[in-house]
Structure 1
Amino acid sequence: MSVLTRDEAQTRAQLLDVHHYTVDLDLTTGDETFESTSLIRFTARAAGDTFVELKPETLHSAVLDGEPLDTAALHDNRLPLTLTEGEHTLRVSTTMRYSRTGEGMHRFTDPTDGEAYVYTQLFMEDVQRVFAAFDQPDLKAVFEVSVTAPEGWTVLANGITEQQPDGRWTAAPTPLLSTYFVCVAAGPWHSVRTEHAGLPFGIHCRRSLAPHLDADADEILDVTRACYDRYHEKFDEPYPFDSYDQAFVPEFNAGAMENPGLVTFRDEFVFRSAVTDTERMTRAMVIAHEMAHMWFGDLVTLRWWDDIWLNESFAEYMGFQTINEACADRFADTWIDFGVTRKSWGSEADQRPSTHPVAPDPDAVPDTASALLNFDGISYAKGASALRQLVAWMGEEDFLAGINIHFKRHKFGNATLADFIDNLAAATDRDVHGWAEQWLRTTGIDTLTPRLDGEGKQWRLTVDRDGSRPHRIRVGVYDHDPAGELIPRERTGADVPQEAPIALDGPRPALVVLNEGDLTYAKMRFDDVSEETALRSLSRIPDALTRAVVWNALRDMVRDGELEPAAYLETALAHLGEETELAIVQGVLGFARTQITDRYVSEADRPAALATLTALTRDLLRRTEDGDSPGLRLTAVRTFIDSATTPAKIASWLEDGTVHGGPELDPELRWRILARLAVLGATDEAAIAAELDRDPSATGQEGAARCRAALPTPEAKKAAWSAMFDSDDLSNYLFTATAQGFWQPEQSELTRPYVARFYPAATALADRRGPAIAEAAGRWAFPSYAIDADSLALGEHHLTHDAMLPALHRKLTDQLDDLRRALRVRG
């Protein structure tokens, strides 16, 4: 399939003005394909040649202004058009194939009850898998969509839908939309509907998940209403669409997608097992994130994909900030979770060879394939961190004033980075253009280190900067009291680079924390005294967000080889048992379990590392026996299971159906235990099959695939490998589950022969199945635990000499860089 270049898009945008699409879909023609007809009305500003994109199973006909076109001219998903100046009508009739990879029109059959569901995901360039279109973001048009669906189905779309007397479903005409925002979701949905601010609101899921959605419906709708009201306080432009539906759909590749009026979410957000308040907060943040897109992304859309950060960074920032404001009575400070989980996603991406500016130069994004590679932690988390720093620097009032200028000037149109910066500049005296050049057009992350000079009670603090960006930070200075607690002496704002050192009255501080409040994007280091204090007294820091900043600094020091992994684990053992903020506990345990114990310590040191982690989780389990902290206990139980080196304890939990002292095992915990038992060789196919009989849901199918792939036998590995790479039968989710089970640190000798097989197998798979599976293969099926020089050399050879899909190449570039880092940390 060819990719659209930026030059081609600019040329076509100069030639065409697209007015209206009438799209008719027939979903009643079988399980493999559907019928699609699109009628496009557009104007050519001059005579010229162009093309329309489509990727059909069969192209039945194409008629331009009443004249049939040669269907054999379709090549590489493009149908050429020769146009005269003036008005034109193009009608294209096709048979399209359903997807099993989450791209285009994805079809899913629920194993629980046999019901089928379909939904579209048309981001970037997948609209052509559903209907013919001029597929680029700056050719906006009105869309009228009708759908013929099986009896008993409900059809959701961007506008309010109604079923006609002939059985067809029709959606209200949309405002001007980019092609990639068109959305249809059809099936026997379970729906909860309400009204807010005069608009219909709805939430929808598969019927088999109905009890779980109903249990959380009030929470989901309360968050939705609170965000809607808060955005109307912030934004002058009212919500621009006729309804607001949220559909939780199966096997979704992303967290969610901001389709105007019909947001689609991965249906893991319909919780069927116990979750922590932090996970509920994450769901709320995603709701807020996608709603922010209704203005920034949907109302005002990027002109070309170099500005994808404009959509995602803004929504990421607004999501966390708005939940912090609108749901403060329900959730703790969201910026703690952002700092511990999301920010590291951006900073780690920014330190790899594949890094790019938040706002790359347009020439660096020459086509849609390269644009897809920038859909990463930099465009989301680093960009959101930059915006948070911008708000701290220019003030929230001026920032929102600039945003509202942006909406007013470009509503229902397209805008660029230059437009955005100009509109911010119109609201402030600050040099926003200079800020943008230093923050948005550069790569990498600065490092800030405190330096203290003086004696007695006269000390001066200098902030040394390794980097080039300006920073506005808050500095916290702490002393020990007689009981050993850390007491804030003073907090002061500082600009970096400094005009002069900060004078500190009093003795040498016990601890200096740069970037209190986590308002900037930089790595933090400590002076020698502060580092010792941090390691010994971290839990004595009174503010949770400051503790998160310190934990992040220690994490970065481990990754950079400046702190022994064992020292991090000992610090966690000493202090995490007293931690009250769940997001911190989850973040620290997650890093310790997935990075330190599995990658950063040698095979010889791994048992000791797991023992430390097990001791830590035992402490947390003892601390939570009274039932007052169910989220903390659940987090400890999960980590204890994942860290078990012997099967007896967790096997007894599975047999009893409960953790001793609680909680009782729900499906998520049962599958988690069974997966760990599979890794340890303490279960078998019969037990997996019995568990699947107990839980035959889609999640159960994934759990069984993960467990079967994790069994430590040559036969199990051979079967899992064949399922992933020798056929194309696995859906995107079943592929991922199988890959997650396949590679295990405990089974390195068993899987060693597959390391060399991975690269040619993944390259061939990506060529056959496309970017979504390519990304999944690079992320989940990569031999992450083969941490040695030979594995690195092998990967570098293939990366240099094999032609591969860009999505796979990018993912392997990142994986090999992480492998290099793991080798350095071990060294």
Structure 2
Amino acid sequence: MSVLTRDEAQTRAQLLDVHHYTVDLDLTTGDETFESTSLVRFTARTAGDTFVELKPVTLHSATLDGKPLDPASLDGNRLPLTLTEGEHELRVRTTMRYSRTGEGMHRFTDPTDGESYVYTQLFMEDVQRVFAAFDQPDLKAVFELTVTAPEGWTVLANSLTERQDDGRWKAAPTPLLSTYFVCVAAGPWHSVRTEHAGLPFGIHCRRSLAAHLDADAEEILAVTRACYDRYHEKFDEPYPFDSYDQAFVPEFNAGAMENPGLVTFRDEFVFRSAVTDTERMTRAMVIAHEMAHMWFGDLVTLRWWDDIWLNESFAEYMGYQTVNEACSDLFADTWIDFGVTRKAWGYEADQRPSTHPVAPDPDAVPDTASALLNFDGISYAKGASALRQLVAWLGESDFLAGINIHFKRHKFGNATLADFIDNLAAATDRDVHGWAEQWLRTTGVDVLTPRLTGEGARWQLTVDRDGGRPHRVDAGVYDRDPSGALVLRERRALDVPQDGPAELTGPRPALVVLNDGDLTYAKLRFDKASEESVLRGLSRLPDPLTRAVVWNALRDMVRDGALAPGEYLEAARAHLTEERELALVQGVLGFARTQIADRYVAAEERPAALATLREIARALLRRTEDGDSPGLRLTAVRTLIDSATTPDQIASWLDEGTVHGGPELDPELRWRILARLAVLGATDEAAIAAELERDPSATGQEGAARCRAALPEAGAKAAAWSAMFDTDDLSNYLFTATARGFWQPEQAELVREYVTRFYPDAVALADRRGAAMAEAAGSYAFPAHAVDAAALALGESHLAGDTMIPALRRKLVDQLDDLRRALRVREA
């Protein structure tokens, strides 16, 4: 299949003006395929040759202005068209295939009740899997959809839908949309509907999750209403669509997708087991993120994929900021979680060989395959961090003024980075163009280090910068009081580079924290005295956002070999047991468990690292016995399960159905325990089958697949490997679950032969099943536990010699760089 190049898209956009799509889908023709008919009305500005994209099972017919086209002329995914100047009408009738990979029209049958659901995910170039289209973002058109669905199904779409007398569902005509935003979600949905600000609002999930959606419906709708109202306070342009539906759909690859009027979310956000407040806040942030896209992305859309950051960075920044403003009665400061978890994603991506500017040069994104690689921590977290720094430098009022100019000038159209910067510049006297060059067109992470000079009561603070970006930061200056607490003396606003040292009053501070408040994007270091104060007194810092900044700095120091992993664990032992900010506890324990214990310490040191994590978790359990911190307690229980090296305690919890003192074991905890018991060789197929009978849901199926793959038996490993790589039977979620169970540090000898098998098998899988499964294989089926020089050499040889699709190559480049880093950390 050919990918669309930027040059081809520009040529086609100059030739065509696309007006209207009429799309008819028939979902009643079986479980494998559906029927699709599209009628496209468009104008050719001059005579010329072009093509329309489609990926059918069968192309039944195609006519251009009533004249038949030869179906045999379909070349891969392109049907050639020879056009005269003027108006044209293209009609294409096809049979299309449902997917099991989350791309195109995904079909899922719920094992709980046998009900089936379908939904579209048409991002980048997957509209072709559903209907024929001129598939590029700057050929916007009006869409009218009609869907024939089985009896008892409800059909959702971008606009209001209504069931016709003939049984078909018809959606109202949309405003101008890019092809990748078209969305249909059909099935026997459980729906909760309401109205807000004169618009129909709805939330939807599969029937087996109805009780769980109902339990959270008021929270979800409260967040939705609050964000909607807040955006209308920020933005001059009103919400541009006729309704706002949010569908929680099964086996969704991303967190969510901003389809206008019908946002699709992974249905893990319908919580069926206990979750922490931080996880609820994440759901709220995703709701706010996707709603921001209704303006930035949907109303105003990128012209080509080099500007995807304009969509994602803006929505990421607005999501966190708007939840912070509009939902403060429900959630703590969202920027704490951003700082300790999300931002780390950006730092990691920006230090790999695959790094790229937030706003890459258009020539660096020559086609859709390369564009797909830029959906990473840079386009999301780094870009959001850059916008947060821009707001700190520009001021929020000027920032929003520029945004509103952007919306007004380009609504229902397309825009570029240059348009965005010009519109911001129209609202301020500051040099936004210069800022953009330094922040958006460069790669890498600056490092900021404080340097104190002076004596007595006169000290000067100089910020040494390794890098080239300007930064506006607050420097937190702290003293230690007689009790040992670190007390803020002052926060000094600094521009880096400085005109000269900042004069401090008073004795030498015990601690200087650069970027206190976390308003810029940079790695931080400490002077020697400050590092000692941090390691001794981190939990005595008064502001949780400051503690997040410090924990992130320590994380970066470990990754850079400037702090031993054992020292990080000792800091966690000393300070995490006193921490009350849930996002910090989850973030620190997550890094310690998955990176330090599994990769950064040598195999012989791993038992001690896991013992430290269990010690921290037990201390948190003791601290939460009064029941007033259920999220901390749940986090501690999860850590105890995942860090267990003997089965007795967690097996007793499973037998009794509860942790002593709570919580009761819900399905998520039961599968978590069983997975760890499988790793330890303390369960078997009979117990897994019994648990699956107890929980036959889709999540239960995934839990069973993970447990079976984790069993320390040669036959179990062979079966799991064959399921992943020898057949195409596994859906995207079942593949991921199996892969997550397969590799375990405790079973390194048992799976050694599969390390060499991974590369050729992953290449073959990616060639057969495409980008989404390549991403899954590279992310979850990679042998990350194998931290040794031989594993690195093996991977490098395959990377140099094997031909593989870009999505897999990018994942392997990143994985091997992480492996190099793990080796450097061990050596340091």
Q: TM-score per shorter chain, which class? A: over 0.9
Q: 1:46 corresponds to which residue?
A: 46
CA distance in 2, matches of 1:232, 1:482: 49
Write the letter of the residue equivalent to 2:331: F
Matched, 1:221 2:187: no
Write the letter of the residue equivalent to 2:264: T
1:117-196 equivalences under 5 Å are 117-196=117-196
CA distance in 1, matches of 2:546, 2:745: 34
Q: 1:568 corresponds to which residue?
A: 568
Q: Deviations over 1:101-144 (max 9, x none)?
A: 00000000000000000000000000000000000000000000
Q: Secondary structure at the match of 1:785?
A: coil
Q: Secondary structure at the match of 1:34?
A: strand
Q: 2:591 corresponds to which residue?
A: 591
CA distance in 1, matches of 2:400, 2:42: 36
Structure 2 unpaired stretches of 5+: none
Q: Deviation at 1:147?
A: 0.1
Q: 1:635 corresponds to which residue?
A: 635
Q: Deviations over 1:346-402 (max 9, x none)?
A: 110000000000000000000000000001110000000000000000000000000
Matched, 1:67 2:67: yes
Q: 2:670 corresponds to which residue?
A: 670
Q: Secondary structure at the match of 1:605?
A: helix
CA distance in 2, matches of 1:516, 1:527: 15
Q: Secondary structure at the match of 1:245?
A: strand
Q: Deviations over 1:144-166 (max 9, x none)?
A: 00000000000000000000000
Q: 2:262 corresponds to which residue?
A: 262
Q: Deviations over 1:319-368 (max 9, x none)?
A: 00000000011100000000011000011000000000000000000000
Write the letter of the residue equivalent to 1:212: H
Matched, 1:212 2:220: no
Write the letter of the residue equivalent to 1:295: W
Q: Secondary structure at the match of 2:545?
A: helix
CA distance in 2, matches of 1:17, 1:491: 55
Matched, 1:450 2:450: yes
Q: Deviations over 1:221-249 (max 9, x none)?
A: 00000000000000000000000000000
Q: 1:336 corresponds to which residue?
A: 336
CA distance in 2, matches of 1:540, 1:41: 66
Q: 1:242 corresponds to which residue?
A: 242
Q: 2:297 corresponds to which residue?
A: 297
CA distance in 2, matches of 1:484, 1:101: 55
Write the letter of the residue equivalent to 2:350: D
Q: Deviation at 1:76?
A: 1.3
Write the letter of the residue equivalent to 1:174: T
Matched, 1:724 2:719: no
Q: 1:76 corresponds to which residue?
A: 76
Size of the aligned set, in residue pairs, is: 827
CA distance in 2, matches of 1:105, 1:51: 22
Q: Deviations over 1:451-510 (max 9, x none)?
A: 000111111000000000000000100001111111111111000000010111111110
CA distance in 1, matches of 2:400, 2:338: 21
Matched, 1:604 2:604: yes
Q: Secondary structure at the match of 1:750?
A: coil
Q: Deviation at 1:52?
A: 0.1
CA distance in 1, matches of 2:78, 2:766: 21
Q: Secondary structure at the match of 2:451?
A: strand
Q: 2:803 corresponds to which residue?
A: 803
Q: Secondary structure at the match of 1:220?
A: helix
Q: 1:655 corresponds to which residue?
A: 655
CA distance in 2, matches of 1:226, 1:361: 37
Q: 1:466 corresponds to which residue?
A: 466
Q: 2:559 corresponds to which residue?
A: 559
Q: Deviation at 1:709?
A: 0.1
Q: Deviations over 1:297-331 (max 9, x none)?
A: 00000000000000000000000000000001110
CA distance in 2, matches of 1:488, 1:251: 48
CA distance in 2, matches of 1:55, 1:330: 45
Q: 2:784 corresponds to which residue?
A: 784
Q: Deviations over 1:601-628 (max 9, x none)?
A: 0001001111111111010011011101
The alignment's C-alpha RMSD in Å is 0.3
1:356-755 equivalences under 5 Å are 356-755=356-755
Write the letter of the residue equivalent to 2:689: A
Matched, 1:277 2:277: yes
Q: Deviations over 1:765-791 (max 9, x none)?
A: 000000000000000000001110010
CA distance in 2, matches of 1:330, 1:492: 31
CA distance in 2, matches of 1:483, 1:603: 40
CA distance in 1, matches of 2:486, 2:821: 34
Write the letter of the residue equivalent to 1:432: V
Q: Secondary structure at the match of 2:94?
A: strand
Q: Deviation at 1:181?
A: 0.1
Q: Secondary structure at the match of 1:821?
A: helix
Q: Deviation at 1:580?
A: 1.1
CA distance in 1, matches of 2:425, 2:640: 52
CA distance in 1, matches of 2:630, 2:146: 47
Structure 1 unpaired stretches of 5+: none
CA distance in 2, matches of 1:40, 1:87: 11
Write the letter of the residue equivalent to 1:577: T
CA distance in 1, matches of 2:329, 2:578: 23
CA distance in 1, matches of 2:339, 2:323: 15
CA distance in 1, matches of 2:327, 2:54: 44
CA distance in 1, matches of 2:692, 2:89: 53
Q: Secondary structure at the match of 1:546?
A: helix
Q: 1:812 corresponds to which residue?
A: 812
CA distance in 2, matches of 1:565, 1:492: 32
Q: Deviation at 1:62?
A: 0.3
Matched, 1:757 2:757: yes
Q: Deviation at 1:217?
A: 0.2
Q: Secondary structure at the match of 1:492?
A: strand
Q: Deviations over 1:690-723 (max 9, x none)?
A: 0000000000000000000000000000000000
Q: 2:111 corresponds to which residue?
A: 111
Q: Secondary structure at the match of 2:499?
A: coil
CA distance in 1, matches of 2:340, 2:138: 36
Q: 1:347 corresponds to which residue?
A: 347
Write the letter of the residue equivalent to 1:274: A
Write the letter of the residue equivalent to 1:704: A
Q: Deviations over 1:181-236 (max 9, x none)?
A: 00000000000000000000000000000000000000000000000000000000
Write the letter of the residue equivalent to 2:533: T
Write the letter of the residue equivalent to 1:317: Y
Write the letter of the residue equivalent to 1:5: T
Q: Deviation at 1:554?
A: 0.2
Q: Secondary structure at the match of 1:604?
A: helix
Q: 2:20 corresponds to which residue?
A: 20
Q: 1:197 corresponds to which residue?
A: 197
Q: Secondary structure at the match of 2:604?
A: coil
Q: Secondary structure at the match of 2:89?
A: strand
CA distance in 2, matches of 1:242, 1:340: 38
- Tell me the TM-score normalized by structure 2: 1.00
CA distance in 2, matches of 1:147, 1:539: 58
Q: Secondary structure at the match of 1:488?
A: strand
Q: Deviations over 1:27-66 (max 9, x none)?
A: 0000000000000000000000000000000000000001
CA distance in 2, matches of 1:15, 1:491: 57
Q: Secondary structure at the match of 1:450?
A: strand
